[in-house]
Structure 1
Amino acid sequence: MSAGFSAIVLAGRRDGRLDPLAANAGVSHKCLVPVAGKPMLLHVLEALDASPGITRIVVSIDAPDVIAPLIRRLGSGRISVEPSAPNLVDSVFGAANASAPPFLVTTADNVNLTPASVAEILAAAQGADAAAAFARRERVVAAHPDGQRRFYRFRCGDYSNCNAYVLGSREALKAAEVFRGGGQFAKFPMRIVKAFGLLNLIRFRYGLATLDGAFRGFSRRFGLAIRPIRVSDGALAIDVDNERTLHIAETILGERGSALGEPPQEVRLDRAAHRLGDPLLA
Protein backbone atom coordinates (compact mmCIF):
# COMPACT_ATOMS: atom_id res chain seq x y z
CA MET A 1 0.00 0.00 0.00
CA SER A 2 1.10 3.55 -0.63
CA ALA A 3 1.40 6.15 2.09
CA GLY A 4 -1.60 8.16 0.95
CA PHE A 5 -5.16 6.86 1.15
CA SER A 6 -8.27 8.00 -0.69
CA ALA A 7 -11.24 8.16 1.68
CA ILE A 8 -14.67 7.25 0.30
CA VAL A 9 -17.63 8.47 2.34
CA LEU A 10 -20.99 6.89 1.50
CA ALA A 11 -23.69 9.50 2.03
CA GLY A 12 -26.42 8.67 -0.49
CA ARG A 13 -30.01 7.67 0.11
CA ARG A 14 -30.68 3.96 -0.19
CA ASP A 15 -33.08 3.31 -3.06
CA GLY A 16 -33.94 7.00 -3.06
CA ARG A 17 -35.93 6.68 0.18
CA LEU A 18 -36.16 9.44 2.75
CA ASP A 19 -34.55 8.28 5.98
CA PRO A 20 -36.76 8.64 9.12
CA LEU A 21 -34.06 10.70 10.86
CA ALA A 22 -33.92 13.06 7.88
CA ALA A 23 -37.70 13.36 7.87
CA ASN A 24 -37.74 14.21 11.58
CA ALA A 25 -35.01 16.82 11.11
CA GLY A 26 -36.67 18.34 8.04
CA VAL A 27 -33.72 17.69 5.70
CA SER A 28 -33.51 15.80 2.43
CA HIS A 29 -30.70 13.42 3.39
CA LYS A 30 -29.66 11.60 6.52
CA CYS A 31 -26.10 12.95 6.16
CA LEU A 32 -27.48 16.46 6.83
CA VAL A 33 -29.17 15.54 10.10
CA PRO A 34 -27.66 17.68 12.89
CA VAL A 35 -25.65 15.81 15.49
CA ALA A 36 -24.21 17.85 18.37
CA GLY A 37 -24.89 21.07 16.53
CA LYS A 38 -23.72 20.32 12.99
CA PRO A 39 -24.59 18.00 10.09
CA MET A 40 -23.38 14.46 10.74
CA LEU A 41 -21.41 14.39 7.48
CA LEU A 42 -19.35 17.33 8.70
CA HIS A 43 -18.10 15.34 11.70
CA VAL A 44 -16.78 12.63 9.37
CA LEU A 45 -15.24 15.05 6.87
CA GLU A 46 -13.49 17.01 9.61
CA ALA A 47 -11.94 13.82 11.03
CA LEU A 48 -10.75 12.69 7.60
CA ASP A 49 -9.50 16.13 6.59
CA ALA A 50 -7.44 16.29 9.79
CA SER A 51 -5.86 12.88 9.11
CA PRO A 52 -2.36 13.09 7.58
CA GLY A 53 -2.73 9.64 5.98
CA ILE A 54 -5.70 10.75 3.88
CA THR A 55 -4.74 12.56 0.68
CA ARG A 56 -8.16 12.74 -0.99
CA ILE A 57 -11.78 12.50 0.14
CA VAL A 58 -14.62 11.50 -2.18
CA VAL A 59 -18.21 11.84 -0.97
CA SER A 60 -20.67 9.55 -2.74
CA ILE A 61 -24.22 10.94 -2.74
CA ASP A 62 -27.23 10.78 -5.07
CA ALA A 63 -27.77 14.56 -5.04
CA PRO A 64 -24.32 16.24 -5.00
CA ASP A 65 -25.79 19.75 -4.93
CA VAL A 66 -27.26 19.33 -1.45
CA ILE A 67 -23.84 19.06 0.20
CA ALA A 68 -22.06 21.66 -1.95
CA PRO A 69 -22.62 24.39 0.70
CA LEU A 70 -21.22 22.04 3.34
CA ILE A 71 -18.08 21.36 1.29
CA ARG A 72 -17.58 25.08 0.75
CA ARG A 73 -17.98 25.68 4.47
CA LEU A 74 -15.26 23.18 5.28
CA GLY A 75 -12.97 24.88 2.78
CA SER A 76 -10.79 21.87 2.03
CA GLY A 77 -9.35 21.43 -1.45
CA ARG A 78 -9.10 17.67 -0.97
CA ILE A 79 -12.82 16.91 -1.07
CA SER A 80 -14.75 16.01 -4.22
CA VAL A 81 -18.27 14.69 -4.75
CA GLU A 82 -19.40 11.82 -6.99
CA PRO A 83 -22.97 10.72 -7.78
CA SER A 84 -23.89 7.57 -5.88
CA ALA A 85 -25.63 4.48 -7.24
CA PRO A 86 -28.80 2.88 -5.82
CA ASN A 87 -26.67 0.31 -3.94
CA LEU A 88 -23.57 0.41 -1.75
CA VAL A 89 -21.32 -1.67 -3.98
CA ASP A 90 -21.78 0.36 -7.15
CA SER A 91 -21.44 3.55 -5.12
CA VAL A 92 -18.04 2.36 -3.86
CA PHE A 93 -17.00 1.41 -7.40
CA GLY A 94 -18.04 4.81 -8.74
CA ALA A 95 -16.17 6.71 -6.05
CA ALA A 96 -13.11 4.48 -6.50
CA ASN A 97 -13.04 5.29 -10.21
CA ALA A 98 -12.76 8.97 -9.29
CA SER A 99 -9.81 8.43 -6.94
CA ALA A 100 -6.81 6.17 -6.47
CA PRO A 101 -6.08 3.21 -4.17
CA PRO A 102 -5.59 2.39 -1.41
CA PHE A 103 -9.07 3.28 -0.16
CA LEU A 104 -10.58 3.86 3.27
CA VAL A 105 -14.35 3.38 2.99
CA THR A 106 -16.71 4.67 5.65
CA THR A 107 -20.20 6.14 6.02
CA ALA A 108 -21.61 9.60 6.68
CA ASP A 109 -23.18 8.44 9.97
CA ASN A 110 -19.83 7.37 11.45
CA VAL A 111 -19.75 10.55 13.54
CA ASN A 112 -17.41 9.22 16.24
CA LEU A 113 -14.58 8.81 13.76
CA THR A 114 -11.44 10.65 14.88
CA PRO A 115 -8.03 11.32 13.29
CA ALA A 116 -6.52 8.99 15.90
CA SER A 117 -8.85 6.15 14.86
CA VAL A 118 -8.13 6.80 11.19
CA ALA A 119 -4.37 6.62 11.84
CA GLU A 120 -4.81 3.40 13.82
CA ILE A 121 -6.81 1.76 11.02
CA LEU A 122 -4.45 2.81 8.24
CA ALA A 123 -1.40 1.59 10.15
CA ALA A 124 -2.98 -1.77 10.98
CA ALA A 125 -4.07 -2.30 7.37
CA GLN A 126 -0.53 -2.15 5.97
CA GLY A 127 0.26 -5.32 4.04
CA ALA A 128 -3.37 -6.44 3.68
CA ASP A 129 -5.38 -6.50 0.48
CA ALA A 130 -8.47 -5.58 2.45
CA ALA A 131 -9.33 -4.99 6.10
CA ALA A 132 -12.34 -4.28 8.30
CA ALA A 133 -12.42 -2.46 11.63
CA PHE A 134 -13.96 -4.10 14.71
CA ALA A 135 -14.30 -3.10 18.36
CA ARG A 136 -14.53 -5.49 21.30
CA ARG A 137 -17.78 -5.48 23.27
CA GLU A 138 -15.96 -4.24 26.38
CA ARG A 139 -14.63 -1.19 24.56
CA VAL A 140 -18.00 -0.40 23.01
CA VAL A 141 -19.73 -0.63 26.39
CA ALA A 142 -17.01 1.56 27.90
CA ALA A 143 -17.80 4.23 25.29
CA HIS A 144 -21.51 4.02 26.12
CA PRO A 145 -23.37 1.16 27.86
CA ASP A 146 -26.31 1.32 25.44
CA GLY A 147 -24.33 2.19 22.34
CA GLN A 148 -24.58 -1.14 20.50
CA ARG A 149 -27.05 -3.98 20.91
CA ARG A 150 -25.80 -6.46 18.30
CA PHE A 151 -22.42 -8.14 18.36
CA TYR A 152 -20.71 -10.88 16.38
CA ARG A 153 -19.79 -13.74 18.68
CA PHE A 154 -16.38 -15.39 18.26
CA ARG A 155 -14.40 -17.80 20.40
CA CYS A 156 -12.10 -14.93 21.34
CA GLY A 157 -14.93 -12.59 22.39
CA ASP A 158 -17.76 -10.48 21.04
CA TYR A 159 -17.15 -7.76 18.47
CA SER A 160 -19.03 -5.06 16.60
CA ASN A 161 -18.09 -3.79 13.18
CA CYS A 162 -17.16 -0.11 12.85
CA ASN A 163 -18.25 0.82 9.31
CA ALA A 164 -14.63 1.41 8.32
CA TYR A 165 -13.00 -0.71 5.63
CA VAL A 166 -9.69 -0.63 3.78
CA LEU A 167 -9.28 -1.78 0.18
CA GLY A 168 -5.65 -1.88 -0.79
CA SER A 169 -6.05 -2.06 -4.57
CA ARG A 170 -8.62 -1.99 -7.32
CA GLU A 171 -8.48 -5.79 -7.40
CA ALA A 172 -9.51 -5.82 -3.74
CA LEU A 173 -12.72 -4.02 -4.71
CA LYS A 174 -14.22 -7.42 -5.43
CA ALA A 175 -14.35 -7.92 -1.65
CA ALA A 176 -16.93 -5.11 -1.58
CA GLU A 177 -19.33 -7.42 -3.43
CA VAL A 178 -20.27 -8.96 -0.07
CA PHE A 179 -22.28 -5.80 0.64
CA ARG A 180 -24.38 -5.92 -2.53
CA GLY A 181 -27.21 -7.43 -0.50
CA GLY A 182 -27.03 -4.57 1.99
CA GLY A 183 -24.57 -5.82 4.61
CA GLN A 184 -25.93 -5.72 8.20
CA PHE A 185 -25.01 -9.39 8.66
CA ALA A 186 -25.83 -9.36 12.38
CA LYS A 187 -29.44 -8.46 11.50
CA PHE A 188 -29.66 -10.70 8.41
CA PRO A 189 -27.55 -13.87 8.91
CA MET A 190 -28.64 -15.47 5.62
CA ARG A 191 -26.69 -12.76 3.81
CA ILE A 192 -23.56 -14.46 5.16
CA VAL A 193 -24.44 -17.59 3.16
CA LYS A 194 -24.52 -15.62 -0.07
CA ALA A 195 -21.44 -13.56 0.75
CA PHE A 196 -19.21 -16.02 2.61
CA GLY A 197 -20.70 -19.51 2.31
CA LEU A 198 -22.65 -21.86 4.56
CA LEU A 199 -19.67 -22.94 6.64
CA ASN A 200 -18.95 -19.36 7.61
CA LEU A 201 -22.62 -18.85 8.49
CA ILE A 202 -22.38 -21.79 10.92
CA ARG A 203 -19.18 -20.39 12.40
CA PHE A 204 -20.81 -16.96 12.82
CA ARG A 205 -24.02 -18.34 14.28
CA TYR A 206 -22.38 -20.54 16.89
CA GLY A 207 -19.19 -18.58 17.55
CA LEU A 208 -16.97 -21.48 16.51
CA ALA A 209 -14.11 -19.43 15.07
CA THR A 210 -11.87 -16.73 16.42
CA LEU A 211 -12.04 -13.35 14.68
CA ASP A 212 -8.67 -13.98 13.03
CA GLY A 213 -9.69 -17.51 12.05
CA ALA A 214 -12.87 -16.26 10.42
CA PHE A 215 -10.91 -13.78 8.35
CA ARG A 216 -8.48 -16.47 7.25
CA GLY A 217 -11.52 -18.25 5.86
CA PHE A 218 -12.64 -15.08 4.09
CA SER A 219 -9.15 -14.68 2.65
CA ARG A 220 -9.26 -18.18 1.18
CA ARG A 221 -12.73 -17.63 -0.28
CA PHE A 222 -11.78 -14.38 -2.04
CA GLY A 223 -8.15 -15.16 -2.79
CA LEU A 224 -7.10 -12.00 -0.95
CA ALA A 225 -5.29 -11.20 2.28
CA ILE A 226 -8.24 -9.88 4.33
CA ARG A 227 -7.53 -8.78 7.89
CA PRO A 228 -9.63 -7.73 10.90
CA ILE A 229 -8.50 -4.55 12.65
CA ARG A 230 -9.20 -4.23 16.36
CA VAL A 231 -9.68 -0.55 17.13
CA SER A 232 -9.05 0.82 20.60
CA ASP A 233 -11.93 3.32 20.53
CA GLY A 234 -15.20 1.47 21.09
CA ALA A 235 -17.22 4.56 20.12
CA LEU A 236 -16.29 3.86 16.51
CA ALA A 237 -18.84 1.02 16.56
CA ILE A 238 -21.65 3.45 17.44
CA ASP A 239 -22.99 5.08 14.30
CA VAL A 240 -26.19 7.11 14.00
CA ASP A 241 -29.00 4.84 12.83
CA ASN A 242 -31.99 6.14 14.81
CA GLU A 243 -33.02 8.62 17.48
CA ARG A 244 -31.56 6.46 20.25
CA THR A 245 -28.09 6.27 18.72
CA LEU A 246 -28.28 9.93 17.68
CA HIS A 247 -28.66 10.96 21.34
CA ILE A 248 -25.91 8.55 22.36
CA ALA A 249 -23.55 10.00 19.75
CA GLU A 250 -24.34 13.50 20.96
CA THR A 251 -23.51 12.43 24.51
CA ILE A 252 -20.18 10.96 23.44
CA LEU A 253 -19.25 13.97 21.33
CA GLY A 254 -20.22 16.33 24.14
CA GLU A 255 -18.14 14.43 26.68
CA ARG A 256 -15.15 14.37 24.38
CA GLY A 257 -15.41 18.08 23.76
CA SER A 258 -15.43 18.72 27.50
CA ALA A 259 -12.44 16.39 28.02
CA LEU A 260 -10.47 18.41 25.48
CA GLY A 261 -11.19 21.57 27.42
CA GLU A 262 -13.59 22.86 24.79
CA PRO A 263 -16.98 24.28 25.71
CA PRO A 264 -19.64 21.55 25.41
CA GLN A 265 -21.76 21.90 22.30
CA GLU A 266 -25.44 22.56 22.75
CA VAL A 267 -26.95 19.27 21.68
CA ARG A 268 -30.61 20.14 22.19
CA LEU A 269 -30.84 22.76 19.50
CA ASP A 270 -34.06 23.47 17.71
CA ARG A 271 -33.61 21.08 14.79
CA ALA A 272 -35.83 23.13 12.57
CA ALA A 273 -32.97 25.66 12.48
CA HIS A 274 -30.85 23.17 10.58
CA ARG A 275 -32.89 22.92 7.41
CA LEU A 276 -31.16 23.29 4.09
CA GLY A 277 -31.75 27.02 3.97
CA ASP A 278 -30.11 27.62 7.33
CA PRO A 279 -26.96 29.81 7.39
CA LEU A 280 -25.15 26.86 9.01
CA LEU A 281 -24.93 25.29 5.57
CA ALA A 282 -24.36 28.48 3.61
Structure 2
Amino acid sequence: MNNSPQVLVLAGQRAGVADPLCEAFNVTYKVETQLIGKPMIKWVAEALDAAELKRPFIVSGYPALSEGWSIAASGDGPADSALLALKDASFPCLMTTGDHPLLTADILRFFIEASQKTGADFCVGLADEQTIQSAYPETKRTYLRFSDTAVSGCNLFYIANSQGLAALEFWREAQHLRKKPLQLARKVGIGLGIRYAAGRLSISQAFDEAGKKIGIKASPVLLPYAEAAIDVDKVSDHDVVEKILLSRFNS
Protein backbone atom coordinates (compact mmCIF):
# COMPACT_ATOMS: atom_id res chain seq x y z
CA MET A 1 0.00 0.00 0.00
CA ASN A 2 1.06 3.62 -0.47
CA ASN A 3 2.71 5.22 2.56
CA SER A 4 3.13 1.82 4.19
CA PRO A 5 4.14 2.14 7.84
CA GLN A 6 6.87 0.17 9.54
CA VAL A 7 5.29 -2.89 11.21
CA LEU A 8 5.98 -4.13 14.75
CA VAL A 9 4.49 -7.42 15.98
CA LEU A 10 4.65 -8.00 19.74
CA ALA A 11 5.03 -11.74 20.29
CA GLY A 12 6.67 -12.11 23.70
CA GLN A 13 5.28 -13.45 26.94
CA ARG A 14 6.05 -12.74 30.57
CA ALA A 15 9.07 -14.65 31.88
CA GLY A 16 8.21 -17.16 34.57
CA VAL A 17 4.47 -16.96 33.93
CA ALA A 18 2.84 -20.13 32.59
CA ASP A 19 0.75 -19.32 29.53
CA PRO A 20 -2.49 -21.35 29.31
CA LEU A 21 -2.15 -21.82 25.55
CA CYS A 22 1.43 -23.08 25.83
CA GLU A 23 0.29 -25.61 28.40
CA ALA A 24 -2.84 -26.67 26.51
CA PHE A 25 -1.17 -27.06 23.11
CA ASN A 26 2.34 -28.03 24.20
CA VAL A 27 4.17 -25.16 22.50
CA THR A 28 7.09 -23.09 23.73
CA TYR A 29 5.71 -19.77 22.54
CA LYS A 30 2.07 -18.73 22.64
CA VAL A 31 2.23 -17.46 19.04
CA GLU A 32 3.12 -20.99 17.87
CA THR A 33 -0.36 -22.21 18.84
CA GLN A 34 -1.90 -23.86 15.78
CA LEU A 35 -5.16 -22.79 14.17
CA ILE A 36 -6.26 -25.02 11.29
CA GLY A 37 -2.73 -26.35 11.06
CA LYS A 38 -1.01 -22.95 11.00
CA PRO A 39 0.69 -21.03 13.84
CA MET A 40 -1.11 -17.89 14.97
CA ILE A 41 1.76 -15.63 14.01
CA LYS A 42 1.68 -16.99 10.45
CA TRP A 43 -1.95 -15.86 10.13
CA VAL A 44 -0.85 -12.40 11.29
CA ALA A 45 2.03 -12.30 8.80
CA GLU A 46 -0.24 -13.33 5.92
CA ALA A 47 -2.68 -10.51 6.74
CA LEU A 48 0.18 -7.99 6.83
CA ASP A 49 1.43 -9.22 3.46
CA ALA A 50 -2.09 -9.17 1.98
CA ALA A 51 -2.36 -5.51 3.01
CA GLU A 52 0.89 -4.93 1.09
CA LEU A 53 2.75 -3.59 4.11
CA LYS A 54 6.47 -3.32 3.65
CA ARG A 55 8.91 -5.86 5.01
CA PRO A 56 10.97 -6.48 6.97
CA PHE A 57 8.47 -6.61 9.82
CA ILE A 58 9.89 -6.21 13.31
CA VAL A 59 8.96 -8.98 15.74
CA SER A 60 9.58 -8.63 19.46
CA GLY A 61 9.99 -11.60 21.77
CA TYR A 62 9.87 -14.44 19.26
CA PRO A 63 13.22 -15.62 17.85
CA ALA A 64 12.03 -18.36 15.49
CA LEU A 65 11.41 -16.16 12.44
CA SER A 66 14.05 -15.19 9.91
CA GLU A 67 13.38 -14.18 6.31
CA GLY A 68 11.47 -10.93 6.03
CA TRP A 69 11.61 -10.26 9.77
CA SER A 70 13.84 -8.18 12.02
CA ILE A 71 14.13 -9.73 15.49
CA ALA A 72 13.96 -7.47 18.56
CA ALA A 73 14.36 -8.46 22.20
CA SER A 74 11.34 -8.23 24.47
CA GLY A 75 11.25 -6.15 27.62
CA ASP A 76 9.30 -6.21 30.86
CA GLY A 77 5.80 -6.03 29.44
CA PRO A 78 4.38 -4.98 26.07
CA ALA A 79 5.05 -1.24 26.39
CA ASP A 80 8.68 -1.79 27.34
CA SER A 81 9.07 -4.31 24.50
CA ALA A 82 7.62 -1.83 22.02
CA LEU A 83 9.93 0.97 23.16
CA LEU A 84 12.97 -1.30 22.85
CA ALA A 85 11.94 -2.47 19.38
CA LEU A 86 11.20 1.04 18.12
CA LYS A 87 14.39 2.64 19.43
CA ASP A 88 15.85 2.89 15.91
CA ALA A 89 12.69 2.35 13.86
CA SER A 90 11.25 4.60 11.19
CA PHE A 91 7.84 6.24 11.40
CA PRO A 92 4.95 5.93 10.95
CA CYS A 93 4.64 2.55 12.65
CA LEU A 94 1.79 0.06 12.90
CA MET A 95 1.92 -2.07 16.04
CA THR A 96 -0.07 -5.26 16.58
CA THR A 97 0.34 -8.60 18.35
CA GLY A 98 1.21 -12.14 17.30
CA ASP A 99 -1.93 -13.60 18.89
CA HIS A 100 -4.30 -11.82 16.51
CA PRO A 101 -5.00 -14.42 13.77
CA LEU A 102 -8.29 -12.86 12.66
CA LEU A 103 -6.55 -9.81 11.21
CA THR A 104 -7.32 -9.22 7.54
CA ALA A 105 -6.03 -6.85 4.90
CA ASP A 106 -9.33 -4.93 5.06
CA ILE A 107 -9.03 -4.42 8.82
CA LEU A 108 -5.43 -3.26 8.51
CA ARG A 109 -6.07 -0.89 5.61
CA PHE A 110 -9.11 0.62 7.31
CA PHE A 111 -7.20 1.20 10.54
CA ILE A 112 -4.13 2.69 8.88
CA GLU A 113 -6.10 5.01 6.59
CA ALA A 114 -8.43 6.15 9.40
CA SER A 115 -5.45 6.77 11.69
CA GLN A 116 -3.72 8.88 9.05
CA LYS A 117 -6.84 11.00 8.61
CA THR A 118 -6.93 11.92 12.32
CA GLY A 119 -3.59 13.72 12.19
CA ALA A 120 -2.87 12.29 15.65
CA ASP A 121 0.52 11.27 16.98
CA PHE A 122 -0.88 8.05 18.47
CA CYS A 123 -4.04 6.11 17.55
CA VAL A 124 -5.69 3.12 19.20
CA GLY A 125 -7.94 0.68 17.34
CA LEU A 126 -11.22 -0.13 19.11
CA ALA A 127 -14.49 -1.89 18.32
CA ASP A 128 -17.77 -1.10 20.02
CA GLU A 129 -19.77 -3.59 22.03
CA GLN A 130 -22.73 -3.65 19.64
CA THR A 131 -20.50 -4.51 16.68
CA ILE A 132 -18.84 -7.35 18.57
CA GLN A 133 -21.89 -8.83 20.29
CA SER A 134 -24.13 -8.70 17.24
CA ALA A 135 -21.58 -10.72 15.27
CA TYR A 136 -20.21 -13.03 17.98
CA PRO A 137 -22.45 -13.09 21.07
CA GLU A 138 -20.54 -16.07 22.44
CA THR A 139 -17.25 -14.20 22.77
CA LYS A 140 -16.39 -12.56 26.08
CA ARG A 141 -14.48 -9.28 25.83
CA THR A 142 -13.48 -6.64 28.35
CA TYR A 143 -15.11 -3.27 27.67
CA LEU A 144 -14.25 0.30 28.56
CA ARG A 145 -17.59 1.98 29.21
CA PHE A 146 -17.65 5.64 28.24
CA SER A 147 -20.69 7.89 28.38
CA ASP A 148 -21.34 7.52 24.65
CA THR A 149 -20.08 4.01 23.85
CA ALA A 150 -18.55 0.82 25.25
CA VAL A 151 -15.43 -0.36 23.43
CA SER A 152 -12.96 -3.21 23.44
CA GLY A 153 -9.34 -3.01 22.35
CA CYS A 154 -8.21 -4.45 19.01
CA ASN A 155 -4.45 -4.76 19.61
CA LEU A 156 -3.88 -2.21 16.86
CA PHE A 157 -1.84 0.93 17.43
CA TYR A 158 -0.61 3.59 15.00
CA ILE A 159 2.40 5.66 15.97
CA ALA A 160 2.64 8.49 13.48
CA ASN A 161 5.93 9.98 14.65
CA SER A 162 8.47 9.90 17.45
CA GLN A 163 6.21 12.11 19.59
CA GLY A 164 3.76 9.22 19.67
CA LEU A 165 6.27 7.20 21.69
CA ALA A 166 5.24 9.32 24.69
CA ALA A 167 2.05 7.24 24.82
CA LEU A 168 4.15 4.07 25.17
CA GLU A 169 6.27 5.71 27.88
CA PHE A 170 3.08 6.58 29.75
CA TRP A 171 1.75 3.04 29.26
CA ARG A 172 4.99 1.56 30.59
CA GLU A 173 4.90 3.68 33.72
CA ALA A 174 1.20 2.97 34.29
CA GLN A 175 1.82 -0.80 34.02
CA HIS A 176 4.20 -0.66 36.96
CA LEU A 177 1.49 1.05 39.04
CA ARG A 178 -1.28 -1.43 38.25
CA LYS A 179 -1.19 -2.77 41.83
CA LYS A 180 -1.03 0.75 43.32
CA PRO A 181 -4.43 2.25 42.44
CA LEU A 182 -3.96 5.57 44.23
CA GLN A 183 -0.67 6.29 42.46
CA LEU A 184 -2.18 5.17 39.15
CA ALA A 185 -5.17 7.46 39.65
CA ARG A 186 -2.86 10.41 40.31
CA LYS A 187 -0.89 9.64 37.15
CA VAL A 188 -3.93 9.32 34.90
CA GLY A 189 -5.71 12.21 36.61
CA ILE A 190 -8.10 11.80 39.52
CA GLY A 191 -10.72 14.04 37.90
CA LEU A 192 -10.63 11.97 34.73
CA GLY A 193 -11.03 8.77 36.74
CA ILE A 194 -13.97 10.15 38.71
CA ARG A 195 -15.79 11.24 35.56
CA TYR A 196 -15.19 7.84 33.95
CA ALA A 197 -16.48 6.00 37.04
CA ALA A 198 -19.56 8.24 37.10
CA GLY A 199 -20.30 7.59 33.42
CA ARG A 200 -19.72 11.22 32.46
CA LEU A 201 -16.64 10.81 30.25
CA SER A 202 -17.01 10.40 26.49
CA ILE A 203 -14.45 8.50 24.45
CA SER A 204 -13.28 11.63 22.62
CA GLN A 205 -12.90 13.51 25.91
CA ALA A 206 -10.86 10.65 27.34
CA PHE A 207 -8.41 10.62 24.44
CA ASP A 208 -8.22 14.41 24.20
CA GLU A 209 -7.46 14.86 27.88
CA ALA A 210 -5.09 11.90 28.14
CA GLY A 211 -3.22 13.18 25.09
CA LYS A 212 -2.88 16.67 26.57
CA LYS A 213 -1.59 15.19 29.81
CA ILE A 214 1.31 13.48 28.03
CA GLY A 215 1.85 16.22 25.46
CA ILE A 216 0.59 14.58 22.28
CA LYS A 217 -2.53 14.30 20.17
CA ALA A 218 -4.14 10.90 20.76
CA SER A 219 -7.17 9.54 18.95
CA PRO A 220 -9.42 6.48 19.02
CA VAL A 221 -10.17 4.72 15.74
CA LEU A 222 -13.44 2.77 15.82
CA LEU A 223 -13.35 -0.27 13.57
CA PRO A 224 -16.51 -1.72 11.98
CA TYR A 225 -15.06 -5.24 12.21
CA ALA A 226 -15.97 -7.44 15.18
CA GLU A 227 -13.06 -9.79 14.40
CA ALA A 228 -10.61 -6.96 15.05
CA ALA A 229 -11.37 -7.21 18.77
CA ILE A 230 -10.94 -10.98 19.09
CA ASP A 231 -7.46 -12.21 19.92
CA VAL A 232 -6.43 -15.54 21.44
CA ASP A 233 -5.53 -15.43 25.12
CA LYS A 234 -7.13 -18.65 26.36
CA VAL A 235 -8.40 -21.99 25.12
CA SER A 236 -11.98 -20.77 24.79
CA ASP A 237 -10.75 -17.94 22.53
CA HIS A 238 -8.87 -20.50 20.44
CA ASP A 239 -12.06 -22.48 19.85
CA VAL A 240 -14.05 -19.39 18.84
CA VAL A 241 -11.33 -18.12 16.50
CA GLU A 242 -10.86 -21.49 14.84
CA LYS A 243 -14.59 -21.63 14.07
CA ILE A 244 -14.43 -18.15 12.54
CA LEU A 245 -11.45 -19.08 10.38
CA LEU A 246 -13.17 -22.25 9.22
CA SER A 247 -16.29 -20.27 8.32
CA ARG A 248 -14.17 -18.02 6.07
CA PHE A 249 -13.04 -21.03 4.08
CA ASN A 250 -16.57 -22.41 3.84
CA SER A 251 -18.24 -19.17 2.79
Does the TM-score normalized on the shorter chain lie above 0.5? yes
How big is each residue's C-alpha offset from its partner over 1:145-201, in whole Å with a ceiling of 9 and x where there is no partner? 122332111121211111111111122111012332549x9xx98786265222222
Q: Distance in 2 between matches of 1:195 and 1:257?
A: 47
The answer to whether the Cα contact below 8 Å between 2:47 and 2:104 also exists between their aligned partners in 1 is yes
Instruction: Name the structure 2 match of 1:114.
Output: 104
Q: Distance in 2 between matches of 1:189 and 1:164?
A: 26
Instruction: Name the structure 2 match of 1:200.
Output: 192
The answer to whether the Cα contact below 8 Å between 2:7 and 2:95 also exists between their aligned partners in 1 is yes
C-alpha change, 1:105 and 1:168, in structure 2 (3 Å) is same
Q: Unaligned regions of 5+ residues in structure 2, if any? A: none
The answer to whether the Cα contact below 8 Å between 1:128 and 1:227 also exists between their aligned partners in 2 is yes
Aligned runs of 1:158-237 on 2, under 5 Å? 158-180=150-172, 181-182=174-175, 193=185, 196-237=188-229
C-alpha change, 1:190 and 1:235, in structure 2 (3 Å) is farther
Match of 1:83 among 73, 80, 89: 73
Q: Distance in 2 between matches of 1:191 and 1:165?
A: 26
Match of 1:124 among 111, 114, 132: 114
Q: Matched residue of 1:97: which SS?
A: coil
Instruction: Name the structure 1 match of 2:51.
Output: 51
The answer to whether the Cα contact below 8 Å between 1:192 and 1:200 also exists between their aligned partners in 2 is no
The answer to whether the Cα contact below 8 Å between 1:109 and 1:241 also exists between their aligned partners in 2 is yes
Q: Matched residue of 1:149: which SS?
A: coil
How big is each residue's C-alpha offset from its partner over 1:102-141, in whole Å with a ceiling of 9 and x where there is no partner? 1111111111111111101111111110000110111111
Deviates more, 1:128-137 or 1:167-176: 167-176
Q: Matched residue of 2:21: which SS?
A: helix
CA RMSD of aligned residues (A): 2.4
Q: Matched residue of 1:14: which SS?
A: coil
2:51 maps to a residue whose letter is: S
Q: Give yes or no for the alignment of 1:134 onto 2:126.
A: yes
The answer to whether the Cα contact below 8 Å between 1:4 and 1:54 also exists between their aligned partners in 2 is yes
1:238 maps to a residue whose letter is: I
Q: Give yes or no for the alignment of 1:240 onto 2:232.
A: yes
Give 1:221 shift: 0.8
Percent identity over the alignment? Answer: 30
2:101 maps to a residue whose letter is: V
The answer to whether the Cα contact below 8 Å between 2:148 and 2:202 also exists between their aligned partners in 1 is yes
Match of 2:136 among 135, 141, 144: 144
Give 1:227 shift: 0.5
Q: Distance in 2 between matches of 1:232 and 1:255?
A: 19
Give 1:44 shift: 0.9
The answer to whether the Cα contact below 8 Å between 2:141 and 2:152 also exists between their aligned partners in 1 is no
Q: Distance in 2 between matches of 1:106 and 1:97?
A: 17
Aligned runs of 1:19-38 on 2, under 5 Å? 19-38=19-38
Give 1:54 shift: 4.2
1:117 maps to a residue whose letter is: I
